Structure 1
Amino acid sequence: MNNPKMFLKIAAVAVMFAAPVSAQVAEPAPSDSAAVAPADAAPPAETAVAVDPNSVVGNVLATPELSTLAEAVKAAELVDDLSQPGPFTVFAPNNDAFARLGAGTMEQLLQPAAKEQLSGLISYFVVPGKLTQADVVAAIEAGGGKAEVKTVQGDTLTATLDEGLVKLTDGQGNASYITKSDVQASNGVVHVVNGIMVPAQG
């Protein structure tokens, strides 16, 4: 696996993310492999940076079910960072995942004063190198049923299989499932997940 420079801004996630596990756990959903966002979709007009629509961030910006993540990436000023050569693997929470956060949480995180906290959270969704779903499954099998992947944020996600679906457990024990896998990008790959992954506190 390549090890690109860890240039994303790293910050501790605020205590507001220490939500009960029940608020974060998402039920498994059928996997939809290779659900590629339209390559010719233009990024939102408010994005100042010229974005390659085929990059991981271009895919996020062009995918309707990832519009909340797209807004967060822009607020954290990470569009340019995620446009770099990488490669990157992005575990991208869908809009429903963000909707399950506590009331007002996203509104707070999108404020300029919370940019470092938001950047730290988003960097926990990103793994250096390109990992397809087949790569993740192979690592799980090689690890005797689980595999740990280190994120750009510095903490790890634990991948396991649950009835054939890839399950990701974060640092607080919250579970998310890959619902759309292997969205190929020019600088990596995107997997859509149905939960918010939060690093361990402290």
Structure 2
Amino acid sequence: MKTSLLASALAAVALAAFPVAAQASATGSVLTFTPAPEPSEMVPGEPSEAPSEGPSEGPSEGPSEGAAAVPFGPGCRKLPETGPGSPVEIAKEKVATAVEQSPELSQLAEALKKSELVEQLNSADGVTVFAPTNEAFSALSQDVKDKLNSDPAQLKKVLTYHVVSGKVKPSELQSGSLETLEGGKLTVKQENGEYTVNDAKIVCGNLPTANAVIYLVDKVLVPPQ
């Protein structure tokens, strides 16, 4: 018993004399302690936490702007993730060419060709296109479709009503009006997280192209008479 008490006392003295690390390892009945490094031995500047992940590059439900801007809206899920028509490929093309590549905008692409607007839009230095989806064109009555197909001037008037000079940011769609290339105005607003242009909803917005930005809408916009 005296031997055990003496050994414990000696161990306590040794611990008080030498700083130790918080961990100890057991080998049989003997405890081996690792002395803690002196301050001069520590490596300065090492991060205590793992680096945070970068921003997501996929479509989001809410709009964002700046270098990290990404498309937003539920309709963005219909866009291809890669290849022609995907946000990455659209960003490389002039706007009319980007529309032609998008599976969701094939009817708009055909209308742009009929109205001879492809070259004008591709040569524009910064425009915004509120692009009706195929579903939007399909919702038009047959009578309206026939009139537009038989009258290129009227078709051009309707299509230029969907184009605004300059690259419109989501923050500029909160409330107000935008002047179109047709000469009329579009009423824009944001309510309960939903963006509208006149009475059309933006289903996928903030799609950049090489010279423009595209907002997909669920209705064909009709200019005032």
Same fold (TM over 0.5): yes
Q: How many residues get paired?
A: 148
In the other structure, the counterpart of 1:152 is 181
Calculate the aligned-residue CA RMSD, in Å.
2.5
Q: Distance in 2 between matches of 1:59 and 1:74?
A: 13
Bigger-Rg structure (1/2): 2
- 93, 108, 128: which one aligns with 2:165: 128
Residues 86 and 162 (structure 1), Cα distance of their counterparts in 2 relative to 1, 3 Å cut:
same
Secondary structure at 2:206 match in 1: strand
Secondary structure at 1:177 match in 2: strand
Q: Distance in 2 between matches of 1:86 and 1:191?
A: 17
Uncovered stretches (5+) of structure 1, i.e. residues with no partner: 1-29, 43-51, 141-145, 170-174
Q: Deviations over 1:70-95 (max 9, x none)?
A: 11100001110111132010000011
How far apart are residue 161 of structure 1 and its match? Answer: 1.4
How far apart are residue 36 of structure 1 and its match? Answer: 6.7
Uncovered stretches (5+) of structure 2, i.e. residues with no partner: 1-72, 86-90
Could you say which structure has the higher helix fraction?
2
Say if 2:108 is the partner of 1:69. yes
The structure showing larger relative contact order (alpha-carbon pairs under 8 Å, at least 6 residues apart) is 1
Q: Distance in 2 between matches of 1:33 and 1:134?
A: 19
Residues 85 and 34 (structure 1), Cα distance of their counterparts in 2 relative to 1, 3 Å cut:
farther
State the identity %.
30
Say if 2:217 is the partner of 1:193. yes
Amino acid in the other structure paired with 1:76: S
Amino acid in the other structure paired with 2:190: L
Residues 53 and 117 (structure 1), Cα distance of their counterparts in 2 relative to 1, 3 Å cut:
farther
Please, what TM-score do these two structures have when normalized by structure 1?
A: 0.66
Runs (4+) off by over 4 Å? 32-40
- 172, 190, 201: which one aligns with 1:161: 190
Please, what TM-score do these two structures have when normalized by structure 2?
A: 0.60
TM alignment of 1:106-117, pairs within 5 A: 106-111=145-150, 114-117=151-154
Mean Cα deviation higher: 79-88 or 33-42: 33-42
Say if 2:104 is the partner of 1:94. no
Query: In 2, are the aligned partners of 1:35 and 1:181 still within 8 Å (CA)?
Result: no
Query: In 1, are the aligned partners of 2:200 and 2:217 still within 8 Å (CA)?
Result: yes
How far apart are residue 153 of structure 1 and its match? Answer: 0.6
Secondary structure at 1:149 match in 2: strand
Q: Distance in 2 between matches of 1:71 and 1:165?
A: 29
